Amino acid sequence: MNYHIPVLLTESIEGLNISPDGVYVDATFGGGGHSLSILQQLSHGKLFAFDQDDDARVNVFDDPRFTLVNHNFAFLKNFLEYFKVPHVNGILADLGVSSHHFDTPERGFSFRFNSALDMRMDLNSTKNARQVINEYDLNALTYVFREYGELQNARKLAYAICDARIQKEIETTFDLRDIAVRFCNAKTETKYLSQLFQSIRVEVNNEMETLKRFLRAGLDVLAPGGRFVVITYHSLEDRIVKNFFKTGNTEGVIVKDFYGNVKTPFLQITKKIIVPSDDELRENNRARSAKLRIAEKI
């Protein structure tokens, strides 16, 4: 069951600059599209794939060169140490939510279906969207909506949610949608709801901190000359990746040596971000916000 159309497939695989005997990581296995393309370029090399979602297990390849680690990619370094892999030659991460998640109503990722508020990538996690919406106070909800969804009227929406849940707990995606649509119009509704649901998903899965941990772990395990290839889908992720590839830290703090040269562990392979072609967008509309950055460890 391959449930994910790989985004920027050709560009990201080329960006890895694959050596047939190298060791590579697909940090976001999903439907396995990127992993399959990596395997096709390996001879005696190895591929380790990560995915915390149990649903990804159905896409595993029967290939001795391939290992699926059914855990969050933040633990990349820990598991590679477990498999006695000190360094890898390339890491690929596609940070998008797979079509499978959006199209499976009971996962609660989409406002298109009336389902329980969930949004957990890891179904063993204790925090879900229902808890965030019903238990976070006004200030916490405002922060989530403003920082992770970039909603201009975040506090008004948070206040309306706090008011509504006094009468009745907000249980479903449609319960939340019905409150939120009062703060947008028909023209902006889809974008507004997308930003709202994104913000809750980011909070539920602790996505920003997890991404930072992953990037730092990736730097540690990459061999000199190894490539780091990351596809992002919103400005928060892209800013973190851009900062990290430029400076070696996720805050973007520039450190200079005695002579005033910027100290960085990376060579920028992409001077400009790579975005999907018009042909790809026609075939896969969900690729529309994808941005690809590539760096090489010095």
Cα gap 271→16, rounded to integer Å: 16
Q: Are 184 and 100 in contact (CB under 8 A)?
A: no
Using the predicted structure, report yes or no on whether residue 137 has a pLDDT greater than 90: yes
b vs e for 163-182, b when ≥16 Cβ sit within 10 Å of the residue's Cβ? ebbeeeebeebebbbebbee
Mean pLDDT (whole number) for 86-93: 98
Start-end of H helices in 68-206: 76-82, 99-103, 129-135, 138-149, 154-167, 173-180, 189-204
Using DSSP, state whether 88 is helix, strand or coil. strand
Mean pLDDT, rounded, for 181-204: 97
> Which residues lie below 8 Å from residue 69, measured CB to CB, with a gap of 6+?
48, 49, 50, 51, 75, 79
Q: Give the burial class of 248: count Cβ atoms within 10 A of its Cβ; 0-12 exposed, 13-18 middle, 19 or more buried.
A: buried
CB of 281 within 8 A of CB of 287? yes
| Neighbouring residues of 107: CB distance < 8 A, sequence distance ≥ 6 | 101, 115, 118, 119, 120
Q: How far apart are CA 275 and CA 292, in angstroms?
A: 6
pLDDT band at 56 (very low <50, low <70, confident <90, very high): confident
Residue showing tokens 């999903």:
30
Tokens of 295: 């760096």
CA dihedral for 226, 231, 236, 239, sign (positive or negative) = positive
Note the pLDDT tens digit of each residue in 224-274: 999 999 999 999 999 999 999 999 999 999 999 999 998 999 999 998 999
Task: Give the sheet arrangement for strand 222-232, strand by strand.
Answer: 66-69, 46-50, 23-26, 88-94, 222-232, 291-297, 266-268
Classify residue 272 as exposed, middle or buried by CB count within 10 Å of its CB (0-12, 13-18, 19+). Answer: exposed
Quickly state the pLDDT bin for 4 (edges 50, 70, 90): low
- pLDDT for 104: 87
Look at residue 11 in the predicted model and tell me its pLDDT: 98
SS3 content of the chain, % helix, strand, coil (to 5): 45, 15, 40
- Residue 99: pLDDT band with limits 50, 70, 90: confident
User: E strands along the chain, which residues?
Assistant: 23-26, 46-50, 66-69, 88-94, 222-232, 266-268, 291-297
| Helix 189-204 with 138-149: angle, nearest 10 deg | 110
Q: What is the residue-averaged pLDDT of the chain?
A: 95
**List of domains in the chain:** 9-99+207-297 (3.40.50.150), 126-204 (1.10.150.170)
Check residue 238 and give its pLDDT.
97
The yes-or-no verdict on residue 2 having pLDDT over 70 is: no
Q: How far is 48 from 80, CA to CA, in rounded Å?
A: 8
Per cent of the chain over pLDDT 70 is 99
In the chain, the percentage of residues whose pLDDT exceeds 90 is 91
Among the ranges given (38-42, 52-56, 206-210, 244-248), the one the predictor scored with the smallest mean pLDDT? 52-56
